[in-house]
Amino acid sequence: MNKLFFILLMGQPAGAAAGQSNAFVTFLPLILVFVIFYFFMIRPQMKKQKELSNYRNSLKKGDKVITTGGIYGRVNEVKDNYVMLEVGGDLKLKVDKSALIQDPTADKS
């Protein structure tokens, strides 16, 4: 048991200055993980959300859209919080703007 105690004591830094720099080196990998996580996960997601919000705010009559439920339609009327969609024939649906995604088959002109 005494040998284990001496081995543990040998691994500790001798002075206070060494302890301070060791704390920085200890937290450096954690800080780097957060920075990498921000640039590869959080920032692209925020950019995608901003683009989707801009798309939803720029909707106009005649645009093709898809709901998050998978319903394809064409915009008939746009209000502040909802959109009226023509989904076929005389059928119209009132859909919340947050439930719309861009139709990838729509013309980008």
Domain identity same for 23 and 53: yes
Which of 6-15, 19-28, 30-39, 66-75 has the weakest average pLDDT?
6-15
In whole angstroms, give the CA distance from residue 20 to residue 56: 51
Token readout for 10 is 């040998």
Q: What is the CATH number of the domain that holds 100?
A: 2.30.30.30
Under 8 Å between Cβ of 61 and 76 = yes
> 42 with 22, same domain?
yes
For residues 45 and 73, membership in a common domain is answered with: no
| pTM (two decimals) | 0.64
Does residue 109 fall inside a structural domain? no
* Average pLDDT estimate for 64-75: 92
Given a cut of 70, is residue 88 above it in pLDDT? yes
Based on the structure, what is the number of domains in the chain?
Answer: 2
The total number of residues written for the chain in this structure: 109
* C-alpha–C-alpha distance, residues 93 and 73, integer Å: 9
Q: Are residues 54 and 9 in the same domain?
A: yes
What domain range is 20 assigned to?
1-58
Indicate if 24 and 7 belong to the same structural domain: yes
Count CA atoms closer than 13 A to 96's CA, side-chain side.
4
